[in-house]
Amino acid sequence: MPNRLMPAFPEPDTQPFWEGAKRSELRYQRCDTCQSIVFTPRAHCTACGSAKLSWHTSKGLGTIYTYSVVRQNRNPAFADLGAYAVAYVDVDEGFRMLTNIVGAADPTKDIKVGQRVQVEFEAQTSGAFPVPVFRPV
Amino acid sequence: MANQARNAAIVGIYEWPKRLDMDVSAIQIKARSIALALEDAGLSWQDVDGVYDANDGEGGGGLGLSAYLGIHPTVIDTTQVGGSSYEFQAAHAMRDIAAGKCRVAVLSYGSKSASQRVPIGTGGPRGAGGTWQENMENPYGTTLIANYAMAARRHMHEYGTTSEQLAEISVATRHHAMRNPQAVQAMKDLQFQNIRDITVQEVMESRMVADPLHLLECCMVSDGGGAIVIASADVARGAKQKPVWLIGGGEAIKYRTNDGDITTSAAAQSAPIAFGEAQVKPAEIDIAMIYDSFTITVAVMLEDLGFCKKGEVGGYISGGGLRYDRKGAVTLNTDGGGLSSNHPGMRGMFLLLESVRQLRGQSTSQVPGAKLAVAHGNGGLLGGTHAGGTIILAAD
């Protein structure tokens, strides 16, 4: 199993997101006051400042906005991944998420901007939180 | 330019010559550089009444550095916005001097990134986790360079920009570096291979660090530092060197949003403020000193500063016009830049230093009669959270 760095808690903004990941839920927030989507998670609306936010679960489908295949990372947690693709994915519900693209035979050739992707939750030996990553559909 | 304000000028500079220096501490680099920049200006230690510090190099900010120096300022400023800290601080010094709060301001930088082997671009997550941001980023292994690479990928997707076009930035910058003895020595000390002019083809054939950015599109990691003395007009008139006037300053920040465009940087906001204050246009600029952490940083900022339209930088830089001795594009980074002269981590200092050398007529790649320069620093992560500071400088 992968050995990625884990989020660390207590940290109240993102903890509900990661608790959701344990249930294979990709969670985001919407402002009850102005209906704006809020991501990454926090306790106030970035559009109007309201503290009234509700949590929602995404269907986990999105489009690659951009990506890069990382060839060199001196952090030991990523040494075993080989060349791996980091990306921003525009998730259909209206938020852009930093993630990895997995499942490409050759990430340097098989990943494209605009590609449709689906979330999956990757279990880790490094800790209790499965990490949401995306795979081309 | 009749209404252009000339309230503050750079009157003294010093650049630390060594890029690998085992014998000094970072704060010693700062203090010694300040002393030598004051000497350059013909001013003395106790003339200093403004201390601007990015809390770098054990400096301790405006408070701690003043105590270390033994100076009693009337203004301290501890603005830390990464590589753009010095453009922000210069803008603040202009403002503070115009308001009469101080008359002689010092900005300084010292770093030991090479001798301490700091993996700035490829070190992976920077924090141990536990902040709102680290918790959303650390699991994904996004190196510093990957942020820039993702901006480059999107720029290529939207506008058809190519790696061959971006390579022109590395090629022109190396040409300038080969004319700068300190840059050549830096490449020797830091064990560069093939210390000579490079070609687009060689950039393309250098290994990929994070797609689509190749090794020769990445800045080095060096030691270094320097200092700048900014003085009020009355002090500047009596200084040893001809003043280089600070005629415009602009500051902006940008961060990633759910529908934001990462091919545009904070410079798109800071540049119009600076050019507006200076009452000059990009077409009048002789020298562009732009933070070249990576080729894409320069490409995006040439557009955002107004040298060409958004998306058209590929065509603008094709053909090598960025060189000091060629036409077709603004002259770029005549000291050799972060790509080939020095990059201890926060290059904003050197953008101002080389601007001053050009406007004094002292550059190793001198543009004859250079009158106007722009220095644009970028701090933080292009494509992510970053700050952009634009300073317009004018010869006396």
List, for residues A62-83, the tens digit of each pLDDT value: 999 999 999 888 777 787 778 8
Q: Do B151 and A41 touch (CB under 8 A)?
A: no
Q: Which of A35, A56, A66, A106 to mutate to test the interface with B (most CBs of B within 10 A)?
A: A66
Q: What is the number of domains present in chain B?
A: 1
List average pLDDT for each run of 10 residues in chain B, which is 396 residues long: 82 96 95 98 97 91 96 97 98 98 98 87 70 94 94 98 98 98 97 96 97 97 97 97 97 96 98 98 98 98 98 97 97 98 96 98 98 98 96 97
User: What gap in Å lies between CA B294 and CA B325, rounded to an integer?
Assistant: 23
Q: Give B125's contacts in chain A (Cβ within 8 Å).
A: 5, 75
Residue B367 lies inside a defined structural domain of this protein: yes
Range of the domain at B17: 8-116+221-395
Supply the pLDDT for residue B127. Answer: 65
* Interface confidence (ipTM) of the complex: 0.96
B180, exposed or middle or buried, with CB in 10 Å at 0-12, 13-18, 19+? buried
Q: Do B209 and A71 touch (CB under 8 A)?
A: yes
Residue recorded with tokens 């010093």: B14
SS3 A109: helix
CB atoms within 10 A of CB B306: 18
Supply the pLDDT for residue B122. Answer: 79
Q: Give B130's contacts in chain A (Cβ within 8 Å).
A: 7-9, 11
User: Which stretches of chain A drop beneath a pLDDT of 50?
Assistant: none
Q: Do B141 and A14 touch (CB under 8 A)?
A: no
Nearest to A11 among B131, B213, B260 (CB): B131
Supply the pLDDT for residue B245. Answer: 98
Q: Nearest to residue B290, comparing CAs of B255, B319, B316? A: B316
Q: Give A39's contacts in chain B (Cβ within 8 Å).
A: 258
User: HEC states along chain B?
Assistant: CCCCCCCEEEEEEEECCCCCCCCCCHHHHHHHHHHHHHHHHCCCHHHCCEEECCCCCCCCHHHHHHHHHCCCCCEEECCCCHHHHHHHHHHHHHHHHHCCCCCEEEEEEEEECCCCCCCCCCCCCCCCCCCHHHHHHHHHCCCHHHHHHHHHHHHHHHHCCCHHHHHHHHHHHHHHHHCCHHHHHHHHHCCCCCCCCCCHHHHHHCCEEECCEEHHHECCCCEEEEEEEEEEHHHHHCCCCCCEEEEEEEEEEECCCCCCCCCCCCHHHHHHHHHHHHCCCHHHCCEEEECCCEHHHHHHHHHHCCCCCCCCHHHHHCCCCCCCCCCCCCEECCCCHHHHCCCCCCCHHHHHHHHHHHHHCCCCCCCCCCCEEEEEEEEECCCCCEEEEEEEEEEC
Q: Give B262's contacts in chain A (Cβ within 8 Å).
A: 66, 88
Residue B2 lies inside a defined structural domain of this protein: no
- In angstroms, the separation between the Cα of residue A132 and the nearest Cα of chain B is 9
Write the DSSP symbol of residue A79. Answer: G
Residue B188 lies inside a defined structural domain of this protein: no
Residue B110 lies inside a defined structural domain of this protein: yes
Residue B212 lies inside a defined structural domain of this protein: no
Q: Do A87 and B150 touch (CB under 8 A)?
A: yes
Q: Could you tell me if residue B323 is left (phi over 0), alpha (psi between -120 and 50 degrees) or otherwise beta?
A: beta
Residue recorded with tokens 């230690």: B45
Give the CATH fold of the A15-136 domain: OB fold (Dihydrolipoamide Acetyltransferase, E2P) (2.40.50)
CB atoms within 10 A of CB A39: 21
Residue B138 lies inside a defined structural domain of this protein: no
- In angstroms, the separation between the Cα of residue A79 and the nearest Cα of chain B is 10
Q: Could you tell me if residue B201 is left (phi over 0), alpha (psi between -120 and 50 degrees) or otherwise beta?
A: alpha
Residue B123 lies inside a defined structural domain of this protein: no
Q: Which of B133, B142, B209, B217 to mutate to test the interface with A (most CBs of A within 10 A)?
A: B142
> Where exactly are the structural domains of chain A?
15-136
CATH classification at residue B313: 3.40.47.10
- Say whether residue A61 is in contact with chain B using an 8 A CB cutoff: no
Supply the pLDDT for residue B106. Answer: 98
Q: Give A75's contacts in chain B (Cβ within 8 Å).
A: 123-125, 141
Nearest to A75 among B124, B149, B257 (CB): B124
Which residue of A lies nearest to B213 if distances are taken between CA atoms? A68
Supply the pLDDT for residue A45. Answer: 98
Is the Cβ–Cβ distance between B305 and B388 less than 8 Å? no
Residue B168 lies inside a defined structural domain of this protein: no
Q: Nearest to residue B108, comparing CAs of B135, B89, B127, B128? A: B89
User: What gap in Å lies between CA B50 and CA B70, rounded to an integer?
Assistant: 13
Q: Give B209's contacts in chain A (Cβ within 8 Å).
A: 71-72
- Say whether residue A78 is in contact with chain B using an 8 A CB cutoff: yes
